[in-house]
Amino acid sequence: MRKVMFNSIPFINAGAHVGLDMMTGKVFVFSSSLFRPVRISSSRPSTLLELTLLPVEKVLRGEARSESAHLAYLARSDGLASLVHLVEVINLKEGRWFEAYIDAHSGELLSVTNFVSRASYYAIPISKASIAAGQEMIVDPEDYEASPLGWHNDGNANITVTSGNNVLSFKWLDPGYAYSNGNLSNSADPSSLTFSMHYNTTLPSDNPTNLEAARTNAFYIMNVMHDVFYRYGFTEDAFNFQVTNLRGSGKTRAADPVRVSVQAEGAGPNRDGAIANDILVHEVTHGLTQRMTGGGTSRCLQTLEAEGLGEGWSDIMAEWVQLTGGDMRDYAFATYVAGNDKGLRTYPYSTSISTNPRRYSDVAIMNEPHDIGEVWGNILHNILAVLIDKYGWSSAAMTDPQDLKEILCICICSSMPYHYNHVTPLARDAFIQADAIRYNGVNKCLLWRVFARHGLGVNAADYVDDPTIPDDC
């Protein structure tokens, strides 16, 4: 691709693309946006950029990023070539990111390119566990505070497949083959970014239409969780998953989106995990806990008990996103994939000890992370129940963390940096510390009572239960 220049200033919308066969020397493709200008304005601006920004910011409802500004020529439909100040105008809170072209002589706003990609998905809403609850058309679900360019722009270009700055959703082929654009879902309508495939549970999961629907659902869920986690502290500074750090600071690794491989393994006929939201949320929460607990190193959850904590965190996050009210019922994880009402765990998570008798001492005879996760997950389920009983449930939980209303998710995320290496179920201390730092310890006794009820009292150690709570409780 060659750009057109005039007096060493490039045209932003005029150029030519030539494809050359290196074997024969023949041109096999040629395209261009070249034009013959009627008049070219002076390459010396007569209006200072600073004097034009205020009205442009007002029109575009954003803040100009003056450090991005430079001169360019804009080819116009009337044959004029106008010298322009090219500058980015951003409003991250409202999801606005424009490239503005301001006439460098008159100060007039001539044209605007909108970088933000808005899209719609026929998918399973995040509050539903699986395809058994049905798909819906979900319009513009992006949280632009967390994803300022939407979900289909990686900071370099708009994308019309299941790929973007946060997530890459692709078809699994084999262990030696990662992904390519050919294994990504193509939008049914690229002009509007509408992904509209319906999943048919009477057909095999690898049916082409079902594959498209599954990739779309996985892309939607993983992006929702990126945005939710961002609100709760899993940002660039905490090593979150993104291709590009759009805010220009932090510790995000380069080219580091969540990569979700659809149909990597089967769970039985027509039981694709990509259409089971609880499974998807569970798995992406492992990314949150590995990154935040290890400070980006992913090395603090390697022991058996620490892996169990990760399983418990993931189960309860899957439950948390499905809450639609303050009625805390027993929760069975992954019933769709399991093909039964019991799900994949030994007991449902419950506030009733007779329904779920799991407690700290059970860990002594456990040698599998998911089993240990049941102990930690049930404790967190009970914490969630008492917090909702005290503070109520918030319908804005996914996009607007509110003090005290969403203490479970806040304390889960906030406590992770306080864990030491090879954390154990005594991660109880980090959870209580997070409450002390974030809320001045107003929930200290409430939390201790839940822990103590399940054997993790003050003197619990070496898998011996203890019901003791602090003296000041």
Residue 282 in marked binding region = yes
The amino acid occupying position 121 is: Y
Q: Name the token pair of 203.
A: 């057909």
Closest CA to 100 of 74, 110, 3: 110
The amino acid occupying position 346 is: T
CB 77 within 8 A of CB 69: no
Q: Name the token pair of 420.
A: 């030491």
Sign of the torsion angle spanned by Cα atoms 400, 406, 411, 416:
negative
Closest CA to 187 of 142, 165, 155, 219: 219
Distance CA 388, CA 265 (A): 37
Distance CA 131, CA 365 (A): 36
The catalytic residue among 283, 305, 374, 406 is 283
Residue 11 zone, left/alpha/beta (φ > 0; ψ -120 to 50; rest): beta
Q: Is 79 exposed, middle or buried (0-12, 13-18, 19+ CB in 10 A)?
A: exposed
Residue 286 in marked binding region = yes
How, if at all, do strands 80-91 and 96-103 pair? Answer: antiparallel
Distance CA 55, CA 52 (A): 6
Distance CA 145, CA 134 (A): 28
To the query of whether residue 212 is one of the catalytic residues in this protein, the response is no
Count of CA atoms in the C-beta half-sphere (13 A) of 323 = 25
Q: Please, where are the H alpha helices in 251-368?
A: 277-293, 304-322, 335-338
Residue 311 in marked binding region = yes
Binding residues for Zn(2+): 282, 286, 311
| Binding residue positions | 282, 286, 311
- List residues with catalytic annotation: 283
